[in-house]
């Protein structure tokens, strides 16, 4: 363990990058082996099958997301600010490396052809984000910090859909700034202070 990351972590990180680029069927153990610098067979030692690998990846992805949200909630109370930070996180990811894309958004588009174990984890991720955003919308509505035009749950789903769709557009146009441009009016609309 001379490195900061274990081999298993390096494998997961490589798989994440590869999935963000081409989805579940868009990468192979050989690709990972090339990046990490070990042999294909060694990957099977850490993750017996591809399903194991991707299931673990998505599971950790959700756990990291849950931890990140928990930490965020401790520092930031304002619901509108939380939504802006959430959108800003993705804006930054997309602009930095131009490639990044929410692993789960990408996998969700392949859902019908995904191994069941992986599909279940992807659905769990969607439920997690949806639940969190709904709670933010509810608080915002109660506190008057957000101006909702429909029920919190629907507003949360619409917001998440905007984020995912904007990612897609940014990728399609090869224009990272498109993400922020699409999200801006959505956030504006949710802001309470503006008097028309």
Partner DNA sequence: TGTTGTCTACCTTCTAGTAGGGATGCTGTC
Partner DNA sequence: GACAGCATCCCTACTAGAAGGTAGACAACA
DSSP class of residue 78 equals -
Binding of DNA by 6 (CB under 7 A): yes
Binding of a copy of itself by 97 (CB under 8 A): no
Q: Tokens 């990490």 — which residue?
A: 36
CB proximity list for 30: less than 8 A, separation 6 or greater: 40
DSSP class of residue 57 equals H
Binding of DNA by 55 (CB under 7 A): no
Binding of DNA by 5 (CB under 7 A): no
Instruction: Label residue 194 left, alpha or beta by phi (over 0 means left) and psi (-120 to 50 means alpha).
Output: beta
Among 13, 35, 51, 187, binds DNA (CB under 7 A): 51
Binding residues for a copy of itself restricted to 117-146, rule: CB under 8 A = 122-123, 126
Among 41, 172, 193, 195, binds DNA (CB under 7 A): 41
Measured on CA atoms in the order 122, 124, 128, 131, is the torsion positive or negative?
positive
Which CB, 39 or 189, lies closer to a copy of itself?
Answer: 189
Q: How far apart are CA 47 and CA 142, in angstroms?
A: 46
Distance of CA 6 to the CA centre of its chain: 23
Here the tokens at position 35 are 């990046």
Give which of DNA, a copy of itself, none residue 70 binds (C-beta under 5 to 8 Å, depending on kind): none
CB 39 to DNA: min, Å: 3
Binding of DNA by 40 (CB under 7 A): yes
Reduced to 3 states, what is the DSSP secondary structure of residue 117? helix
Q: How far apart are CA 141 and CA 147, in angstroms?
A: 6
Q: How far apart are CA 15 and CA 61, in angstroms?
A: 12
Binding of a copy of itself by 40 (CB under 8 A): no
Of 34-42, 95-103, 127-135, 155-163, the window that binds DNA (rule: CB under 7 A) is 34-42
Among 92, 158, 187, 192, binds a copy of itself (CB under 8 A): 158
Residues near DNA (CB under 7 A) are 6-7, 27-31, 37-42, 44-46, 48-51
Residues near a copy of itself (CB under 8 A) are 21-26, 99, 101, 105-106, 108-114, 122-123, 126, 149-150, 154-155, 157-158, 160-166, 168-169, 171-174, 178, 181-182, 184-186, 188-189
């Amino acid at each position: 363990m001379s490195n900061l990351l274990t081999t298993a972590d390096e494998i997961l990180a490589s798989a994440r990058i590869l999935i963000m680029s081409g989805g579940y069927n868009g990468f192979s153990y050989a690709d990972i082996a090339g990046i990490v610098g070990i042999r294909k067979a060694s990957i099977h030692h850490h993750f017996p099958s591809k399903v194991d690998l991707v299931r673990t990846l998505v599971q950790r992805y959700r756990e990291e997301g849950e931890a990140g949200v928990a930490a965020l909630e401790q520092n930031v109370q304002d619901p509108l600010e939380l939504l802006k930070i959430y959108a800003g996180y993705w804006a930054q990811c997309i602009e930095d490396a131009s490639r990044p894309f929410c692993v789960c958004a990408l996998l969700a588009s392949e859902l019908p052809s995904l191994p069941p174990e992986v599909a279940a984890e992807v659905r769990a991720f969607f439920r997690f984000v949806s639940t969190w955003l709904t709670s933010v919308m509810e608080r915002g509505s109660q506190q008057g910090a957000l101006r909702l035009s429909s029920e919190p749950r629907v507003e949360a789903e619409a917001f998440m859909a905007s984020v995912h769709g904007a990612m897609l557009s940014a990728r399609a146009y090869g224009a990272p700034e498109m993400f922020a441009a699409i999200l801006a009016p959505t956030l504006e609309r949710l802001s309470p202070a503006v008097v028309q």
